Amino acid sequence: MAELLPMDAEKQQAYYDQLNDAVGESLAYFYACIRFNKPFDMNALPASGSKNKWMTYCDKLAKKKLDRTPGGGELGFLDGLTDITKIFGEGLENGNFTKAVSAEKSARDGRQGTKRQAADWGEGTGKVPYTSEDYNEFDRIYNALCADFGGEQAVSAKQQLILRNVAKWTKQMNDAAEMGAIDKAKKLSSMIQENLASENLRKKDTKPVEDLRLDGIVDRLEKAGLMKNGKQCTPDEAFQLIFGRPCKYTYTADAAEKMLLAIINQARINDGLPELVELPEDATIEDELGEFAEEPNEAEKEAYEKMGLLRKHKK
């Protein structure tokens, strides 16, 4: 599965903890797998004394490669152990739990491919149904095709359909070539190229990456106005070009400090802490670059008067 960002991990762990308090450890894993579309697998359950149990479970799934098919396809909840009555039984005693999981796992291993794979690729024909090896090869080829364009998320839904067809035909072409059916392999190759070309999905259709050259960088910077005759523009000029306005703020450094103090105090209020009378020394502003207005404008003067603020800085 895709690696979780720190914030996602924290939210998922917090959700698991809530479930753990409400329904207990075993059911919490099961319900969290449903919520976050992870396969439920007994072999990934952490030890009872583990910390951050849900994230540990996700890590074990990944390390043991229980969250992906051999071809690299992602597994979801429907690909794991799903029958709650078989898994948990009437009680949650460890013995019954283990036996039920083993029975469900054996039934799953007897299937050809996963539920996700069957949904993605179909089941083949009645006479020649797809095997687990077929499904895994489809996944491998499809993921390799998508990788040329930055992954599955970078291609449209229509392009994904074409790439899935191409993945099937590619395997058929390879099988035909191995059996010596060259004419069939050539026909399949033509179908593949025609379909890829229809949506600009051939390798040569990918946008080329330009060679990085110093003179090319200088040329682009000069065209953008950031350099002139090989000399860079001033920081103020660069700011103006990038943001479309002068780099000086319209308010004074004192006003900026008042804003910072208001933000810090609001955060302290939210945390149940007392407000500060003035900014901590390490948060004060030293306007060494002259970015702030030297004198307050009318709007700033009016705001100070209405809010009863005292000016700290002379400027």
User: Measured between alpha carbons, how far is residue 138 from residues 31, 56, 141 in Å?
Assistant: 30, 30, 5
Per-residue pLDDT for the chain (315 aa), expressed as one digit of tens each? 444 544 477 889 989 988 888 878 878 899 999 999 999 988 888 877 778 899 999 999 999 889 888 888 888 998 888 877 666 655 544 555 555 555 555 555 556 777 788 888 888 876 778 888 888 999 999 988 888 777 777 778 888 888 888 899 999 999 889 888 899 989 998 888 888 887 666 665 555 545 556 666 767 777 777 777 777 777 777 777 777 766 778 889 999 999 999 999 899 898 888 988 888 888 888 888 788 888 999 999 998 988 888 887 554
Question: Using only C-alpha atoms, what is the Rg of the chain?
Answer: 31
Tokens coding 30: 């099961």
Q: Is 200 left (phi over 0), alpha (psi -120 to 50) or beta?
A: left
- Residues β-bridged to residue 93: none
Strands (DSSP E) found in the chain: 227-228, 231-232
Is the entire prediction scored with pTM above 0.75?
no
- Residue whose token pair is 């603020």: 309
Question: Burial letters for 10-21: b for 16+ Cβ neighbours within 10 Å, e otherwise?
Answer: eebbebbeebbe
Tokens coding 90: 């009437």
User: Measured between alpha carbons, how far is residue 260 from residues 231, 253, 254, 255, 257 in Å?
Assistant: 37, 11, 10, 9, 5
By the 8 A CB rule, do 44 and 57 touch? yes
Cα separation, 228 vs 222, whole angstroms: 6
**Beta pairing, strands 227-228 & 231-232:** antiparallel
Q: Is 313 exposed, middle or buried (0-12, 13-18, 19+ CB in 10 A)?
A: middle
Question: Burial letters for 210-243: b for 16+ Cβ neighbours within 10 Å, e otherwise?
Answer: eeeeeeeeeeebbeeeebeeeeebeeeebbeeee
Cα separation, 61 vs 68, whole angstroms: 9
Helix 53-63 and helix 6-23: axis angle, to 10°?
120
Instruction: Measure the CA angle with vertex 15, ends 9 and 16; round to 5°.
Output: 90
